[in-house]
């Protein structure tokens, strides 16, 4: 894969919390809110939960086992907020409803949902076990839609809510051997765009605001684990290529603090859009929502040959 195919930024990219999204700038900005973070045991999910706690939100953290959540729970509790840990397979709709009911009973009405749980199997489709491939679609796409479907009626009844879907730059590019991942992340970004349009129909826009967020180049266990030996034997190890490691230069705190900032509502003008947390939020806000939408910026789209569009 040649990264130059997708272009290089000429503007400065952020690789750590900055200006409006630092913990100091967001201190107490989410005080009194209740946030749910899926896949919170480690890496990006743990950083998101801790950033929300630092901004004053009480947090419910979800992962496959409570034991895996111990470190995240401890880090969040140090911020002086209420924290609850729940074991949950996010592809299980019945269990999700139970957990959300428990959260609202223990902490209060949920205000913020961050869909972070995700998996990746680095393997060409022709060599894949279909069930393993499909499991990526279940965790990365079905699960966020289940959480949203469970919470949206509650947000509607209360007239407010924030949903952040952790997407990926992979949603916008073609990356061989990651078909399940790129497909599910593209679907999640498209769902985010469309659901925000539905909030307009429901007269819930902008009170209920959604975002698809690329977390930056974070070398998590998922991204750095590499392919299985049979794939390596046939195709080699992409991690040996110089460009690969250069893609990962961001700490998870950048995504965590961006989520905390979005949860405050300060980024509502960017609702329904696909965001890259390495891009300065103040610069995006400065462009303005109207211009971004008119020029189809920060949305998934297809550029046809000039002259071809839709029938008039």
CB within 8 A of 198, min separation 6: which ones?
none
pLDDT given at position 232: 83
Return the structure tokens found at 105: 């009973």
Helix 93-106 and helix 143-158, axial crossing angle in degrees, nearest 10: 40
- Residue 166 β-bridge partners: 213
- Report CA torsion sign: 83, 99, 46, 206: negative
pLDDT given at position 96: 98
The string of pLDDT tens digits covering residues 128-185 is: 999 999 999 999 999 999 999 999 999 999 999 999 999 999 999 998 999 999 999 9
Return the structure tokens found at 302: 């297809």
- Average pLDDT for the chain: 93
Identify which of 184, 54, 16 has the alpha carbon closest to the alpha carbon of residue 115.
Answer: 184
CB count, 10 Å around CB of 266? 17
Torsion of CA 278, 226, 138, 89, to 10 degrees: -90
Domains in the chain, start-ordered, CATH in brackets? 14-294 (3.40.50.720)
- The answer, yes or no, to whether residue 244 has pLDDT greater than 60, is no
CB count, 10 Å around CB of 105? 8
Exposure b/e, 295-305, CB count within 10 A at least 16 = b? eeebbbeeeee
- The answer, yes or no, to whether residue 225 has pLDDT greater than 60, is no
- The answer, yes or no, to whether residue 221 has pLDDT greater than 70, is no
% of the chain surpassing 90 pLDDT: 85
- Cα 133 off chain centre by: 20
pLDDT (average), residues 37-50? 98
- Options 8, 18, 181, 211, the catalytic residue: 181
Whole-model pTM above 0.85?
yes
The string of pLDDT tens digits covering residues 128-142 is: 999 999 999 999 999
pLDDT given at position 2: 65
- Tell me if residue 181 is catalytic: yes
pLDDT (average), residues 261-275? 98
């Amino acid at each position: 894969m040649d990264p130059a195919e997708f272009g290089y930024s000429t503007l400065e990219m952020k690789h750590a919390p900055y200006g409006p999204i630092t913990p100091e700038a967001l201190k107490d900005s989410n005080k009194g809110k209740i946030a749910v973070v899926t896949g919170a045991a480690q890496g990006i999910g743990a950083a998101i939960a801790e950033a929300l706690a630092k901004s004053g939100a009480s947090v419910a953290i979800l992962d496959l086992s409570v034991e895996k959540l111990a470190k995240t729970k401890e880090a969040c509790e140090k911020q002086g907020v209420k924290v609850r840990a729940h074991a949950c397979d996010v592809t299980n709709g019945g269990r999700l409803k139970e957990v959300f009911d428990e959260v609202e009973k223990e902490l209060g009405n949920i205000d913020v949902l961050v869909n972070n749980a995700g998996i990746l199997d680095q393997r060409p489709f022709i060599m894949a076990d279909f069930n393993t491939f499909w499991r990526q679609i279940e965790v990365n796409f079905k699960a966020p839609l289940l959480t949203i479907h469970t919470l949206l009626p509650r947000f509607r009844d209360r007239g407010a809510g924030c949903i952040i879907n952790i997407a990926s730059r992979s949603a916008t590019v073609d990356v061989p051997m990651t078909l399940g991942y790129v497909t599910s992340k593209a679907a999640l970004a498209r769902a985010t765009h469309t659901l925000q349009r539905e909030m307009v129909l429901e007269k819930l826009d902008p009170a209920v605001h959604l975002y698809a967020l690329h977390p930056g180049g974070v070398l998590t266990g998922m991204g750095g684990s590499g392919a299985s030996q049979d794939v390596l034997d046939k195709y080699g190890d992409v991690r040996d290529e110089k460009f690969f490691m250069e893609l990962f230069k961001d700490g998870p705190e950048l995504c965590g603090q961006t989520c905390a900032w979005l949860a405050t509502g300060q980024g509502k003008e960017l609702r329904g859009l696909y965001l890259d947390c390495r891009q300065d939020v103040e610069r995006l806000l400065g462009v303005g929502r109207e211009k971004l939408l008119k020029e189809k910026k920060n949305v998934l789209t297809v550029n046809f040959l000039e002259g071809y569009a839709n029938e008039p």
